[in-house]
Every structure is written in structure tokens, then in C-alpha cells.
Amino acid sequence: MTKGGSALFPALGPRLMRSLGTLAIVVLLGGFAAAALVRYGPGFCTDENAWNPQYSASSEEATRRRCEDENNLPQFYLRYLRGAVEGNFGTSKSYGVPVRELIESRVPITAGLVAFGVGGGVLLAGLFAWIAVWSRMPAVEAGVSGVVAVLLAVPPAVLALGFFLQEAPIQFAVSLTVLARIFGTVRTMLHDAYGSSPLLAARARGLGPIALGWRYVLRPLAPRILALFGVAVMIAFGALVPIEALCDVPGIGQLAWKAAVSRDLPLLSALSLIITFLVASIHSLGEVLAGRTSRDSEAAV
Amino acid sequence: MWKRLALIFLLLVGTSALLSPVIAPFSYSEQFRDSANAPPGGKFLLGTDDMGRDRLSRLLYATAVSAVLAPAAAALSVLLALLACAFPGLVVGGLTTICLSIPWIFLFIILRAELPLNTDPSISVLLTFALMGVAGWAGPARVFSGSIREMMESGWMLQARSAGIAGWRIGLVYAWPHLRSVALAQFRVLAPVYILAEASLGLLGLGVAEPMPSWGNLLRDLQHPDMVRQNPAILAPLLLLMLCLLAIEAVAVKTHEKEVFR
Amino acid sequence: MKSLIAGLLVALSALAASPSELHFALHGDPRTFDPLHVEDSNSEIVRYITAGVLLRVNRVTDQLQPELAESWKILDGGKAITFRLRAGLKFSDGTPLTSADVARTIQKALDPKENSPAGGTLKGAQGAPEIVVGGPRDITIRYAAPKPSIDRIFDSLGIGPEGNAKMPATAGPYFVAEFRPGLSLQLKRNPNYWKRDGSGRQLPYIDSIRIDIQGNRDIELTRFLRGELHLIHKIDAESFDRVVREKPGSARNGGASLDSEFLWFNQAPAKQVPEWKRKWFQSSAFRHGVSQAIHRNDLAALNYKGHAHPAAGPISTANRTWFNAELKPLPANPANAAKLFAQDGFQLKDGVLRDRDGHAVEFSLVTNAGNRIREKAAALIQDDLKKVGIKVNIVTLDIGSLLERIRKTMDYEAALLGFTNVDSDPMEQMNVWLSSGAEHAWWPSQKTPATPWESRLDALVMEQSTAISMAVRKKAAVEIQRIAVAEEPIIYLVNPDYLVAVSPAVKGFQIAVAPPQVFWNIEWLKLE
């Protein structure tokens, strides 16, 4: 009944290679699609500050012409990719500072929120699901599911706004958002595990809940839990864009929002490259770990 | 019991939304300027908003907009995703990743900017939700392709194929019922997501435009906690939204479980 | 020796007192710290607080007061101005500030390659002025022809040091010590600032200023109410009422502001607008009819909670120097509107207004998306016009696409927007009233004026902006306002009140009409 590491991750090598190849292509194409969408969206070369009585027509024309010259799409994208390889993403249009600097100063804030949100969310989901499954009492299970269902019905941004207005840390709102969205998956996982015959046998032999949980639940579920973390990161990150924008948290989500609103092409391209990379790697991770895992975890998103 | 209750509730909400032109006390855009921000009671059951419009009537019309169009958009996404599954898995995988990571918000900006200015508001609302439905195909498509792949590898599929059952028959008789429950689950997940997405778009002014109400733009009032304190009826749209989501959850979960046990 | 001890004592007492820090928020990033390239309101505020100027318009009295220049004189009937700088001036980094710095700053502003908005203000009718440096403390600027407001234009010219530093040394009360894009700004007191108070203490009183970049105004308000911010320098009516309820001592209403909200019709010959619609838009009777159908009082009462004044014309009633006192706020008069429409051949049938050829009167009104006040104003106007049989379709566009439509493609029918006016002098609105102007909203950048009244406006604007005699300028401004109201190419709606929230801990502020309304005298503010 022992499972070695290699058995946990069957045939990792070729799958990994294939995934990396797809990853590269997808990131390149995704970045290009994003850049094209931004570049050819209306009003790209219009200066937001142009609307005031002091604005002079000559400087507006000059700005527009410069903007259009600088942003011929294929050229822009090639130049951009070359820079990106060197870790230089150009200068943000709306902030006037290097994109790299902007992102670097905000990554810790968002990473902290995501880490807290995912950690707390997964722990809570595990706890809730364990209570629901272990107790084997319909009333308890219904109660827990009820709480989660209510949480699921509250928009993340509203939840965060509520926390913010009550002066409570909004990290908890992120955790609750993650909890609500992965609870179903975790419960199914635990349900399957606790229903398996080896476990039932062990339980009958009188093994304690902790030993039981570790040996028969957590260890066999490890790859699925790992994939679940990936999904939770995506959920947390997705929820953070409106949360950060609404609560004015200076993180990556807010940066993305502002970049979208002010059509900051260099900044947006960098961000979408990063996000594509994140999405694609998490998807590949899921695929590499186990086909089934990616399905049931994504059903939760 | 819960399921029946939830069903009745959803039916009730649905019919009252569809009948809103008949049962709403006022038009959603009629302004009673002398009674702006009126508290609930009397002529206005839920009070009025800051332009003196009846909150109850607006809520009814908003429900007609959001509670009908968001599920329709979700259905569109699921349908497109099912169609996409006809293509090879690798292509779908790549395309979905790209689609999941590009800033869709620009598509909405482009849509709003390129529509003729005198387009009827109801058409622009329809198009907004339609775009949402089209843009959202990637998520369910990934799930479907995953579950199809899993089916192909499953024991019963191997058995069926080795038994020489025709491909279409496997698809129709065995694969489809399985896929259908996955599709239903996806629909259930997406419908509320789209209701909220419209609310976020509304914050940017890209959602349902004034004076037409939607759950999204009614929820915008929540940003002013002070107003909520003065008139808690502002919470009514949030409450209705939550109740509807809970009811959908209740109906869907029970249906799903029944299928599993059968 | 005595002075050294006194200095030590002052330094010690300064050490003993805890450093004071003023804390407030801007709604976006300043785009530049170069005083010559300021175009957005955030940079404008930072420039005002940091850059040293030769003289300053007192925002309360509207009179000029000396700053870096201890005295000045207008020469040759307004063709030239000569400044004498204070002795021993230094930039915040310790380098001395002389007339050479002033000359270099002016030359840089005028350099066409720099494309500086400050240069546009400094240029004369016949090109760049001649700059004569008379000594380290003396400088004369000479134009070929009399230059109107030759003294006041120096209120906005920040004198900068040599070089192109991103955060240059300053000669104003503060300098930018740290800038974290999208997050915050830290301003520190300029140790070499020349100004002292009556007791000889060096200004500014407040040691440093922390400015957070806070895009969300509801959060700004929450933070103010929690005591994390000392002031909100521009607050909307709804939030203002909340401050009144929760912190009554902090809410200040400065009365009608210089800003205005307005709508206008597209009169330009754009192919996207049908010929028959343009005919309506070009008819002044139609524009008056629309104008009189709108209830400005309701706009002020519902949209601004009563903290706005119905507009009387292009210049706010708050602008006492330039306002045409004969103009009265337009009352709503739907009956008269109907008469005006009838004059023009429109007919009301079954609640629908139709023109001579039977076209139902219907137009789209574009405004910027995400601006709640404007969206609501549009809904109110829509309802008002419905009552006279006109159908309005509200279209909210993001600011980029909106500007592209109203400035470049001209593909729109009517637009609802507002202006923030920085200066009380109507010269500022020159680009709006000149038919060749880029901001000539209803038909920008015309080659020749399309109508006789537009050509009359052109002449008046030139007179207003170039005449030396204040009486002549005022007369021209009054006439511009009269024509603007008689023709109504732009339908003015309201002048929102200037509302602020200032913590009682801040002492010494005086609210002014012209920006920056609360901290125009920032060096004199104290924190308790």
C-alpha cells in the first residue's frame, strides 16, 4: 500500500516537455492577442488629459502622431518581446516609469494577499469539508454547505467592501472567496477518500483521525491537493482585480485595472504576458499532475 | 422539500420579472423629483432612489434584465464550449488558455464605442450579454475537453468500443448523459458569474446604461454605506441576488445528486 | 555669536517638537514634476506646492503679491516687465537662484521643441519676448506689442534649476523627496525657502506632506472620516453631506465654483450626422427650446444635493471680476420651449415632436462612462426632454473613445461634459470661443467662422485677450457672454459648489474660488 514519489507522478518527463512547448506558444500568442486588442481599441492614441480649456491643439496633434508612430503593432510587439526576454518591459504610458519598477513594487502586496487568501481558503475549505464528511451527520453537513452556499452567493467585491468598511483586513474576504469556490471539490475529494475501502478498514481497526487523515487521505491526495492550490491561486487572483480596484489596494490587480482604463499598452502587455504565463503554467501543472484532477478542480472555478 | 421551495421561489421571481410591465407600480424611469430618496412605505414600498424613481419597480425590471439575460449568456457559453469540443484537444487547450488570459474588457469597450449611437438601449444590453456569453466559452470548454478525455480513457468506453458499438451510438447513449450533467454544472456556475460580471462592467459604465436598471447598476448604490444606513431597502437587490443564487444552488445540487445516485 | 546661539536654540526647539506631517490624497499620479510640462490637475497641485514663482495671485483677494521677486514694474505701456529678485535665494538643493535661472526657465518654456504649455502662455501676439538680464538679481522681459496680464502670467511659471532631473530641486515651500508611482508622494520642507513669518520663523510651518494616490473617492472619504487624512480638497455633494453629518466641523462649502457642466450639439458638417438633424442643431431656436426644457434647479437639487448653482452662462457667477451681471440663471420654461420649437416648424403630435419633414426629434447624448454625476444628469435631462416630445438616447463612453468622437471623428450628436477652470480670467477659455480653437466644442478648428456671430466672437476674444485696458477687456468679456447666451451653442447647466473637508487640526487655511482652493497658502498652514 506504499506509494513512492515516481508512482505518484507517472511519466512526468514527456508530458512536462510537451506542456512547456505548448506553454511557450500560448504565452506568445496570448501576449500578441492582448496587445492587438488594446492597440486597436478605440481611443488608444487619445490623451485623457486633452479635455480642458487650457489644452493646446498643437501639443495634442503632436502627442497623437508620436503615439501612432511608436505603436505600429508588429514592430511594437517584436521590440517588446526582445525587451521582455531581457527583463525590460519598457516604460508605462500613464505612469511614466519603467513597467518593471511598477510591477516589482506591487508584486509583494498582491502576493501577500493571494498567499493569505489561498492558504486561509484551502485550510478553511479542508476544515469545513472534513467536518462535513467526518461527522457523518446530515444536519452538520447541511449546515456547513449552507454557510458555504451563502458565501458563494456574495459577490467577492461586495464581501471585500464590507470587510473594508468594517475596518477588517480584506485578506479574510479573499480567503472566504477561495473557500466558497473550492469547498465542493475538497468535499468530493475527502468523500471519496473516506469512503475508500482501505480507509474504512483502517477506521474499523480503530486508527485515530489524525493518523488516518495523514496516511490514507492527505498522502494519496497530494497531487490533487497540489493542483487544487493552483486553482485556488487563479480564483484568488481573479477575485483580487475587482477587490483591489474597489478597495484601492495598490497591488497588481489594481494596476491591471488602471492600465486597462488608461490604455497603457506597455503595462498591459507586460501584465497580460505575466497572467497568460500564470494561467498556462497552472493549467499545465494540472495536466501534468493528473488529468482527472484538472477536471474536477476546474469545475469549481 | 428545500428543492421544491427553491423551485417555487425561482418561478415566482421569474414570473414577476417577466410580468414587471404589468405588476410594477411605476415605470423604471419615472422620476418623482419631489420625493427623491424617500424612505420605504406608503406610495413607494422600497422607497425611491436619488432621482425619485421607485426602487421596487426598478428592482422588478432589473430582475427581468439580469435574471433572464445572464442565464441566457451562460447557456450560450456552454453551447459554444460543447461545439468547441469537436476540435482536437490540444488546439482547444491552447485557445482556451489564450482566451482566459486576454483582457476582455477591451472587447466591451470596443463594442460600446463602435455601436451606432442611436442603437436601442435594449439591443445594446442584449449585445453586451451576448458578448459575455461568447467571451466566456473558454472556461467550460476546458472542463468539457477534460471530461471527454477522461471518458475516452475510462473502462466502459474501452468496453463499448471493443464491443463494436458505433461511435455515434456511444456518443449519444453513453457519453452525452455524462457530459450533460457536467454541462449543467457549468451552467450553474456561470450564470451567477455573469450577473456579477455585469455589475463590474456597470462600475466602468460599460454595463447596462441609465436609465435602464439591472442588478449590476442597482448594486452600485452599495458603495455608499451611508445611503444604505438611511434606507436599508437598498440592500434588496443584493438580497434578491443572493436568494436566487442559493435557490439555483439548491435546485441544481439536488438534481445533480439524484443523477449520481441513479 | 549671538545669532549662532539663537539659531541653535531655534534648531533645538525644532528638534524637540515632533515633526508635523500633512496627509491628503490625489486621485491619480502626477505625470510630471517638471513645472514647465504640467498638463494634468495632479501635476498642477504638486507644482503649486513645490515650484517657486516670481509673484503670486492671492487666491482670496485676487491681488498680486511678491514671491521670489521682491518687486516688479510694468514698463512701456504693458510691453515689458522688470523683476528684482530677493537677495540670497537658493534652490532646495542649496544652489543659488539668480536671474540667469529665471532667463533659462523662460527660454526653455518658449523653445518650440519643448512643446511646453507654459510657453504658450508666455508667448506674445508677435512671437517670443526678448529677455534681458540686468544683473544677478534683475531681469526684464520685453514684448514687441503690449502683452495682456503681463504680470499675472508669472503666477504659474515655476522657476527650475539647470538640468533635466526627474524630480528637480525647487524654490517653493516644499520639494518632492520620494515618489512611488501609483502609491504615494513624500514632500519635504525646502530648507532654503526664503519666506519667514512675522516672528522670523522660517516657513513652511508643516515639516512634510504625504500625498497618497487614492483613485477611489469613497475610500478617500472613509479614510478622512477615520482621521487618516487631513483634508479632501474637492469632494462630491453626497460625500460632503456625509461629512456634515459625521464631522460637522470639517465640512466647508466655498460657494459656487468656477467649474461648469454643460451640453452641446454637434454642428460640424460630419457625414455621420444626418442632414436634417444638423439643421435642428444649427438652429438657435431649437437650442433655446432644449435649454429651456431643462430644469436646472432639479439638476442642482437632485444631482448635487443642492450644492450647485444653476448656470447663467459661460462664466460662473462666482467669478465676480468677469461675470456679466445682466445674465440671470435660465429658468425652466417648457411652455416657452414648445413655442420656440413651433416657431421653427416643429410640431408636437401624440407626445412626439416632429420637424417640418416629419422626422421625429430624437438624438443621442454621449457622456463619459463611470461618472455617476454625469450619468444621472443625463437621465434627468432625458426625462425633461421627454416631456416636450424629444427622445434622448444616453450613451456612456470611456473617456478615450468619447474624446476621439468629439475631437477627431465628430461622430456624435450631442455631448454632456464639464470644464474645470483654473483661472478666473476668461482668456483661459480662448480655445473654446475662437472658431479656429480646438475646444470650440460644437465645431472645432474651423478655417473661417461658419456664422456671423462666430466671427463676431472671434473678434471679441482677440480683443479680450490682447487689450491692455481692463475696461476694454471687461467689456469684450461681457459681450462674449451675451452672445454665448443669445446663441447658446453650448447649453450651460450648473456651476457645482466648491466643497471641501478639512480636519479642525489644520489651522490657517482660507478657501478660495480659484484652484488650489484649500492649500493655495500652504506655507502658512499649521497642524495642531
Judge whether A91 lies within some domain.
no
pLDDT of residue C143: 92
Confidence band (pLDDT; 50, 70, 90) for C381? very high
Judge whether A182 lies within some domain.
yes
- What's the length of chain A? 301
How many B-C residue pairs are in contact by the CB < 8 A criterion?
Answer: 85
Confidence band (pLDDT; 50, 70, 90) for C347? very high
Chain A nearest-CA residue for B2? A142
Q: Are residues A45 and A191 in the same domain?
A: no
Please state, in angstroms and rounded to a whole number, the distance separating the CA atoms of residues C202 and C195: 6
pLDDT of residue B204: 66
pLDDT of residue C283: 94
pLDDT at A52 over 80: no
Q: Pick from A42, A58, A86: which residue ends a domain?
A: A86
Which of B191-195, C126-130, C190-194 is most confident?
C190-194
Question: Once rounded to an integer, what is the mean pLDDT over residues C29-41?
Answer: 87
Question: Once rounded to an integer, what is the mean pLDDT over residues A267-284?
Answer: 78
pLDDT of residue C366: 93
Task: Choose the closest CB to C117 out of A59, A105, A263.
Answer: A59
The answer to whether A228 and A187 have CB atoms below 8 angstroms apart is no
Per the model's pLDDT, the better-predicted residue between C361 and B182 turns out to be C361
B209 and C401 in contact by Cβ < 8 A? no
Question: Once rounded to an integer, what is the mean pLDDT over residues C292-314?
Answer: 93
What distance in Å separates residue C395's CA from the closest CA in chain B? 7
Q: What is the pTM of this model?
A: 0.83
pLDDT at A287 over 90: no
pLDDT at C282 over 90: yes
pLDDT of residue A78: 79
Q: Which residues of A touch B93 (CB under 8 A)?
A: 22, 283, 287
Judge whether A204 lies within some domain.
yes
Q: Are residues A60 and A126 in the same domain?
A: no
What are the tens digits of pLDDT across the range C493-509? Answer: 999 999 999 999 999 98
CA C245 and chain centroid, separation: 29
- Output the CA torsion sign for B117, B122, B125, B130: negative
Please state, in angstroms and rounded to a whole number, the distance separating the CA atoms of residues A242 and B200: 7
Q: Are residues A178 and A254 in the same domain?
A: yes
Per the model's pLDDT, the better-predicted residue between A202 and C270 turns out to be C270
Domain of A136, in residue numbers: 97-300
pLDDT at A244 over 90: no
Name which of A27, A46, A188, A279 to mutate to probe chain B: the one with the most chain B Cβ atoms within 10 A of its Cβ: A279
Low-confidence stretches of chain B (pLDDT < 70) are 89-90, 101, 103, 203-205, 252-262
Judge whether A294 lies within some domain.
yes
pLDDT at C246 over 80: yes
* Terminal-to-terminal C-alpha distance of chain B: 19
Least reliable range by pLDDT among A171-175, C381-385, C412-416: A171-175
Least reliable range by pLDDT among A146-150, A219-223, C73-77: A219-223
pLDDT of residue B197: 81
What domain count does chain A have?
A: 2
pLDDT of residue C476: 94
Q: Which residues of A touch B110 (CB under 8 A)?
A: 37, 40-42
The answer to whether A297 and A231 have CB atoms below 8 angstroms apart is yes
Q: CA gyration radius for chain C?
A: 25
Listed residue (C211, C206, C85, C86) closest to C140, CA to CA? C85
pLDDT of residue C324: 92
Interface of B with A in 46-105 (CB under 8 A): 90, 93-94, 97-98, 100-103, 105
ipTM: 0.83
- Let me know if C9 is exposed, middle or buried by CB neighbors in 10 A (0-12, 13-18, 19+): exposed
Label the pairing between strands C64-66 and C80-85: unpaired
Name which of B117, B125, B127, B206 to mutate to probe chain C: the one with the most chain C Cβ atoms within 10 A of its Cβ: B117
pLDDT of residue A289: 64
SS3 A140: helix
pLDDT of residue C18: 66
pLDDT of residue A71: 67
The secondary structure element, H or E, covering residue C425 is none
A246 and B203 in contact by Cβ < 8 A? yes
Q: Are residues A72 and A190 in the same domain?
A: no
Interface of B with A in 174-213 (CB under 8 A): 182, 185-186, 189, 192, 196, 199-200, 203-204
Written in H, E and C, the secondary structure of chain B is CHHHHHHHHHHHHHHHHHCHHHHCCCCCCCCCHHHCCCCCECCECCCECCCCCEHHHHHHHHHHHHHHHHHHHHHHHHHHHHHHCCCCHHHHHHHHHHHHHCCCHHHHHHHHHHCCCCCCHHHHHHHHHHHHHHHCCHHHHHHHHHHHHHHHHCHHHHHHHHCCCCHHHHHHHHHHHHHHHHHHHHHHHHHHHHHHHHHHHHHCCCCCCCCCCCHHHHHHHHHCHHHHHHCHHHHHHHHHHHHHHHHHHHHHHHHHHHHHHC
Q: In this structure, what DSSP letter does residue C445 have?
A: S
pLDDT at C14 over 60: no
pLDDT at A55 over 70: no
pLDDT of residue A2: 39
Name which of C225, C319, C407 to mutate to probe chain A: the one with the most chain A Cβ atoms within 10 A of its Cβ: C407
Question: Once rounded to an integer, what is the mean pLDDT over residues C416-439?
Answer: 84
Judge whether A92 lies within some domain.
no
Name which of B106, B179, B238 to mutate to probe chain A: the one with the most chain A Cβ atoms within 10 A of its Cβ: B106
Residue C412 forms contact with B (CB below 8 Å): yes
Q: Pick from A86, A118, A148: which residue ends a domain?
A: A86
| Angle at alpha carbon of residue B177, lines to B175 and B178, rounded to 5° | 65
Q: Are residues A276 and A184 in the same domain?
A: yes
The count of other CB atoms within 10 Å of the CB of residue A213 is: 19
Judge whether A173 lies within some domain.
yes
Please state, in angstroms and rounded to a whole number, the distance separating the CA atoms of residues B241 and B85: 32
pLDDT of residue A59: 61
The count of other CB atoms within 10 Å of the CB of residue C371 is: 17
Judge whether A240 lies within some domain.
yes
pLDDT of residue A296: 43
pLDDT of residue B215: 85
Q: Are residues A39 and A167 in the same domain?
A: no
**Cell digits for C251?**
465640512
Contact partners for chain A, using 3 or more CB pairs closer than 8 A, are B, C
pLDDT of residue A6: 42
Mean pLDDT, chain C, as a whole number?
89
How many A-C residue pairs are in contact by the CB < 8 A criterion?
Answer: 107
Q: Are residues A19 and A164 in the same domain?
A: no
The answer to whether C253 and C430 have CB atoms below 8 angstroms apart is no
Q: Are residues A142 and A115 in the same domain?
A: yes
Confidence band (pLDDT; 50, 70, 90) for A291? very low
Judge whether A135 lies within some domain.
yes
Q: Are residues A235 and A130 in the same domain?
A: yes
Q: Which residues of A touch C404 (CB under 8 A)?
A: 42-43, 46
Question: Once rounded to an integer, what is the mean pLDDT over residues C234-260?
Answer: 90
Q: Are residues A77 and A147 in the same domain?
A: no
CATH number, domain containing residue A257:
1.10.3720.10
Q: Are residues A69 and A120 in the same domain?
A: no
Q: Which residues of B touch A161 (CB under 8 A)?
A: 222-223
Q: Output the CA–CA distances (angstroms, integers) from residue B79 to B140, B141, B176, B189, B194, in the order listed.
A: 9, 9, 13, 14, 15
Q: Are residues A8 and A115 in the same domain?
A: no
Residue A81 forms contact with B (CB below 8 Å): no
Q: Which residues of B touch A260 (CB under 8 A)?
A: 103, 105-106
